[in-house]
Amino acid sequence: MVRLLNGNARTEDGCVLSYRVQPRKGKPRLALIHSLALDATIWEQVAAELQADFEILTYDLRGHGQSERRPGPYSARLLASDLATVLDDCGWAGTIVAGCSLGGIVAQAFAAAYTARTLALGLIDTTAWYGPDAVDDWRRRAQRATEIGFAAMLPFQLGRWFSDGFREARPDLVKTISGVFMANDMACYQASCALLGSEDLRTSLQAIRVPVSVIVGEEDFATPLAMSQALHAGIPGSTLTVIPGGRHLTPVEYPKEIAWLLGKLSRQMSASAGD
């Protein structure tokens, strides 16, 4: 069994963040950031695939999971600062950073604000900008959650997150993820939606100079292929991989593929460092 080290980091504004480290002395370090309204659970299978080759950090964003349910407002810069606090608590200087959806936005903000600490980036099922209607779209999403509640939203979410075949084949994982979603705090969810509607990180993409792997599910309706193509076009030297049949939570549905791609990213990082 893999030994996990559990910890709690306290940010400058006093928010307590729950994290877990899968230690592997001497191996590359990898920080994994989860998506909206979920928690570090989404990375369990990816971490299991990579346990022999990486020291792995997973944590719950503020307002999510076991971290403090502190109300907003939130910003990508604030959540990037939270990650820096967690890294400090772990004693990590630099790391590969990979994020899914909201986590990918945090990863981009972290790379912009903490350039020296970012060794490589994995941007999974994510975007730098949700488009000109994003503020209104996400405001409506948050309002709908208030009106109908998380339980009524769940069938729609599951269809966006996972393919029909996966939902039938892995009811255990679907149940676990559903439970995390249902346990959300409404005020924190609304603050996270507002963040997603307001962020536009496109101007920072050209400055990224580390290896970057952009990954997206072929059937991702939440952050469609065009958004990943825009990321790829905006980040010099990045790679783009489309996972056939994947929807919005490829780390859960396709953990072996995501793990392989993150391993490849690490090898790119090592090769780049050796140039």
CA–CA separation, 100 vs 222, rounded Å?
Answer: 12
> Where in the chain are the domains?
5-270
- Nearest one of 148, 156, 189 to 65, comparing CA atoms: 189
Q: Edge-to-edge strand order for the sheet containing 55-59?
A: 5-10, 16-22, 55-59, 29-33, 95-100, 118-124, 212-217, 239-243
pLDDT in tens, 211-249: 999 999 999 999 999 999 999 999 999 999 999 999 999
* pLDDT digits 0-9 by tens, 46-103: 999 999 999 999 999 999 999 999 989 999 999 999 999 999 999 999 999 999 999 9
pLDDT for the residue 270: 87
Quote the pLDDT of residue 5: 87
Q: Residue 251 to residues 124, 125, 230: CA-CA distances in angstroms?
A: 8, 9, 21
pLDDT score of 271: 86
User: Can you state the percent helix, strand and coil of the chain, rounding each to 5?
Assistant: 50, 20, 30
Angle, helices 76-90 vs 102-113, to 10°: value is 70
pLDDT over 90, % of the chain: 95
Query: Which pLDDT tens digit goes with each residue over 166-185?
Result: 999 999 999 999 999 999 99
pLDDT at 4 (0 to 100): 74
pLDDT at 2 over 80: no
Place of tokens 């559990």: 6
State residue 1's pLDDT score. Answer: 46
Tokens in use for 265? 């990213």
Domain 5-270: assigned CATH number: 3.40.50.1820
**Residues 181-205 pLDDT 10s:** 999 999 999 999 999 999 999 999 9
Structure confidence at residue 114 as a pLDDT band (50, 70, 90) = very high
Please tell me the pTM assigned to this model.
0.97
Q: What is the pLDDT of residue 272?
A: 78
Q: Supply the pLDDT for residue 3.
A: 64
pLDDT at 275: 59
Q: How far is CA 87 from the centre of its chain?
A: 16
Identify whether 73 is preceded by a cis peptide bond (ω within 30 of 0).
yes
